[in-house]
Chain A
Amino acid sequence: MLLALILIPFLAAIGILGGLPARLTAVIASLANILVATYALACPACCDGFSLQVLADPKINLSLGITGISAIMLILSVIVTLAAVYSGKCPEGREKLWFSSTLFIAAGAIGAFLSTDVFFFYAFHELALIPTFLMIGILGRGDRKEAAWKITIYLAFGSIILLAGLLMATMHTGSFAFSDLAAIPASEQNTVALLLIIGFGTLVSLFPLHSWAAPAYASAPTPVAMLHAGVMKKFGLYGLLVIGMKVAPEGMLYWLPWICVLLLGNIIWVGLVTINQKRLDLMLGNSSVMHMGYIFLAIAALAANPANSIAEPAAILLMFAHGISIALLFSLTSLVEQKAGTLEISQLGGLAKKAPALAFLFGLAGMASIGLPGLANFAGEVMVFFAGFADWTPGESMGWVQITTIIALWGVVISAVYMLRAFRNTFQGPLVKATENAADIHYCEKIPAYILAATLLVVGIYPKIILQFLSL
């Protein structure tokens, strides 16, 4: 059953390359995936984990299973995949590449999150990166060569360091299975933790290894931007939570001050960079980098005290919420470009008059991303902040995590500044040349937006719907 979740998009992608009608197959495959995922989550007992031995020594199994975190990441992946298939504007005649790559990325991402084996966890992620590079390089917009080159170099660099860290982490038991991961000897923890932080950190665009993200998302075809920023980027955070905290808790504690400083780099530094962006897509790309800082904050809280029971659910809920909201924003940005013909913020204005539905959805997504209550991101952010203060003893001086939390809260103001500025200059004010003849979005274009917006609302109002899976 779990294998089907990977095979459906994978085979559908191959089928599209082999000549099946591209859009239809992709839609059917992603719908089928949602059904299978629903079934698997509704009745975890009916689908046993899957395991196939590949090597006996070191022990490498192609094994799949659903744990609490991966269940939530699975939901995120299938929802964003469905929306991604509907989003963006495929260039004439390139449907095969467009839709098959999208499905390949989805298959890789789902595979990575379902794997319960370090080797395949890593391998599936790499598998998903290849179509990402290709799509950016071939079908991207703007300065796509430069963007593709940058993301490839950065992510390859991160992956290599990550691989070294993972090998060191698994060397001692000789087993790659998640269930065999255990704290490694103290003498190696610092090194392994450092390798994992740099490796996973690069994949998550941790400051200062972040500058690949914004140009890549700005250039990437919309479904790729949605899937990468929304789903794939969570891989590194997932890895730190599932592997990093398990094999090197003391190492993570050792590097805690650095994690704190770097995550503030994400929130404050990149936040300021975001304020200065002149294009909508670059702004969103940077904002997604910035929001990674909050999830790192939860990880820092966990590193400071592995017994912090709020930090992990907080990180996961925020990962989910951010994935949905950024995917929605990228999807809508592409619609803005289609309707107005430009994404230069200075050339836009008054779009709400011509496209009220688009303005409503964009406003909702923007408000979600700046943490408005009632939408999913707020629930995640507020939990992260509470996680930051969970270990504070009143009367004693504050620790790294508390001080970081306080500074990080200023990011809430920063994100409101850039998001409202962008919204005001794009949708409000008088009409300008670009928006004079813009049309509103039609039903077909609303589908992905409504799927994602509804998810944001439901999870924001009732976060337990997602958090309940943590007990799986």
Chain B
Amino acid sequence: MNPWLLLIIPIASAVIIQLGLKRNATASALLSTLSVASTFLISYLLLGKELSAAPIEWINIAGLQLDIGLQLDSLSKGMMIVVTAIGMLVHVFSLGYMKDDEAKARYFGCLSLFMFSMTGIVLASNFVMMFIFWELVGLSSYLLIGHWYHKNSAADAAKKAFLTNRIGDFGFMIGILMLWGIMGTVVFADMDGSKLSLLCTCLTGTVVLLIFCGAVGKSAQLPLHVWLPDAMEGPTPVSALIHAATMVAAGVYMMARLFLSLGITPDTAELIGSAPQVIAWVGAITSLLAALMATQQNDIKKILAYSTLSQLGYMVMAVGLVDANAGMFHLYTHAWFKALLFLGSGAVIYACHHEQDIWKMGGLFGKMKITAITFIIGTMALTAVPGTSGFFSKEGILHAAHENNQALFYIAVIVAALTTFYMFRLIFVAFFGKAKNEHAEHAKEVAPVMWIPLALLAIMAFASPFLGKLIPATEGYHPHLGFEINVVTIASLLAFAVGFIAALILYKGKTSDPVNIPLFRNKFYFDELYAWIIKIFQDALAAIVHFFDAFIINAMIIGGLSRSAVGIGNIFRRYAQSGSISGYAFLMAVGALLVIFFTVFASK
């Protein structure tokens, strides 16, 4: 089995759809689904095999060689399973969800493009290749968020996502360049972590943090988190695949990859100075703020989006605690149950005729049994009910925090309580109580093509940790899958209990939100702050610069020079070019006389 097929199949599908199949939407959808199914098969077959693929030279000039190569280790192969399996289920779900969309072919073409780009990130053998596909997932995310581009909100959200990511990539690229300067290579396998010890930690720490900027953008960490909630403007299956399970986790994956190739372990973490602490705190703060914001949202997808932010914060925190395996484990379990939750919300939205406000739903449990049950399973996994996948992975992160940093541990526990609170708020309001509007009243269970993926994902919400060898982590890592009573477990269970009881008391049977905290509801005013910053530091500055450019440089300095040239020309024109022929003749005669004088008489 040639591993290159993993890249070739999805891009071929995307190209064929764009070039030929655009008019035939059904064929496009089937082709795209088939392509992702076959890549899933291939990545499954690759598991456990020792394979290597010769890299393809992309640029090779003296002093710089950049390749497109495949890195096939347990980290990437495990990640491929997650990406292709969830990708496949999302494709199948989309067959139902996007059935009547007028641009179905474009949708599936973009999905294939996304699968191609995401595969590229996962399998990248060097930082430049990773950056290439990094930008390409940005593009496919842009295209899919803007799928309904005729809506202003969707078009703006797509633009915002792309630009925010670009800001992160600014740091990422500088980081790559500096790392290249230090290591002399961008290939993961050729990096030599011992070179770091020769340098000041201020430099190495900066490099790691600059590369982390890329992860901040893509994994939507503070302060670049603002794009992810807006990205919910895209179709819901896209939110499940890209903005919950795979692409947003790429930042965590990339950091794990970086630490792995630099050989950063808890023992060698001092080589990169205080960078890990910064990373951990960024993750923790993101996770806390996002959880707080989620408690006051009304849009079902927005709640899940903030929940994703919060969980990504967990993973980043784990990376910062130099326990990348714990982060990757949570990434792995989170991918399944968050995809489940998003697809479940998609089913709800579909059933309620594209109503997304939870206060207009209600009572769905009786009408959509399968969806509701799978959604609750997903919620249990997310809130770390013992026995679910989320319990084990969250445990790992809490452990890491408990051992390293008490402050982070408390934050993580508070976030866990908040997670339980906002998720059960969602469930009580949307699935129980009375139907609060007509659409919710007449909601029906969705078609099998949509609930089968939900069921499969629900199984994975339990089963995923036990499929041990699939776990995308470094060789020889075995997550702790037992249940024992210790501080961490107690804290975790306590957090669940507090959150659940609070949600039960506050939201059971309510028809309107009894709590109103404007600060959380308005997302800590980040959007307003950024809008203001952009207005002042970009648009106003641009206007000022434009003014200077037009009036000072163009009109006065450079324009002044050219105008003085014109002025002198005008003087000549007025006095020497009188238009009178005899005047010209006179000047010519004077000129001739001068020439004669200088050549004949003055040269002696």
Contact = CB atoms under 8 A, between A and B. Distances in A.
Is the A/B pair a real complex? yes
B149 A428 contact: yes
> Of A150, A310, A420, which is in contact with the most chain B CB atoms at under 10 Å from its CB?
A420
Interface stretch (A86-94, A120-128, A130-138, A271-279): A271-279
Contacts of B156: 424
A47 B91 CA distance: 56
B262 to A, nearest CB: 14
Interface residues of B, number: 59
Nearest to A421: B159
A50 interface: no
Given A153-B565, A410-B170, A416-B163, A276 B546 contact: yes
Interface string B53-94: 000011111111010000000000000000000000000000
B596 interface: no
A392 B538 contact: no
Nearest to B198: A395
A389 B545 contact: no
Interface residues on A, range: 35 or more
A429 B149 contact: yes
Contact of A413 (B139, B170, B182): B170
A409 B173 contact: yes
Interface string B152-191: 1001101100110011011001100110111000000000
A38 interface: no
Interface in B508-543: 538-539, 541-543
B173 A208 contact: no
B494 interface: no
A154 interface: yes
Contacts of A389: 177-178, 180-181
Contacts of A427: 149
B199 A382 contact: no
A373 interface: yes
B306 to A, nearest CB: 25
A394 B202 CA distance: 12
B64 A208 contact: no
Interface stretch (B243-251, B390-398, B551-559): B551-559
Contacts of A192: none
A390 B64 contact: yes
A413 B541 CA distance: 15
A420 B146 CA distance: 12
Contact of B59 (A352, A392, A463): A463
A157 B170 CA distance: 37
B64 A413 contact: no
> Of B128, B550, B558, which is in contact with the most chain A CB atoms at under 10 Å from its CB?
B558
A272 B133 contact: no
A351 to B, nearest CB: 10
Contacts of B200: 395
B271 to A, nearest CB: 13
A429 B181 contact: no
Contact of B558 (A211, A412, A424): A211
B162 A412 contact: no
B542 A273 contact: yes
- For the residues of A in contact with B, the DSSP-based class is helix
B545 A273 contact: yes
Given A273-B545, A273-B549, A374 B132 contact: yes
A453 B41 CA distance: 34
A53 B163 CA distance: 56
A388 B159 CA distance: 29
Contacts of B163: 413, 416-417, 420
Given A272-B541, A313-B61, A424-B155, A409 B174 contact: yes
B482 to A, nearest CB: 45
Interface string A378-389: 110011011111
B131 interface: yes
A75 interface: no
B373 interface: no
Contacts of A416: 162-163, 166
Contact of A464 (B59, B131, B180, B566): B59
Contacts of A424: 155-156, 158-159
Contacts of B131: 373, 382
B203 interface: yes
A376 to B, nearest CB: 12
Interface string A448-466: 0000000000000011100
Contacts of A395: 198-200, 203
A284 to B, nearest CB: 16
A373 B87 CA distance: 23
B23 to A, nearest CB: 12
B136 interface: yes
Given A269-B545, A389-B181, A208 B553 contact: yes
A430 interface: yes
A317 B585 CA distance: 57
Interface string A401-420: 00001100110110011001
Interface in A144-195: 150, 153-154, 157
Interface in A320-362: 350, 352-353
Given A153-B562, A153-B565, A464-B57, A394 B181 contact: yes
B562 A386 contact: no
A417 B159 CA distance: 9
15 contacts: A150-B562, A211-B559, A270-B549, A275-B542, A276-B546, A353-B150, A374-B132, A395-B198, A395-B199, A409-B173, A412-B166, A428-B150, A429-B152, A430-B152, A467-B59
Given A270-B549, A310-B63, A353-B150, 6 more contacts: A208-B558, A367-B139, A405-B177, A416-B162, A424-B155, A470-B61
A-B complex: 9 closest residue pairs judged by Cβ atoms? A428-B155, A373-B132, A211-B554, A309-B62, A276-B546, A428-B149, A276-B542, A275-B542, A272-B545
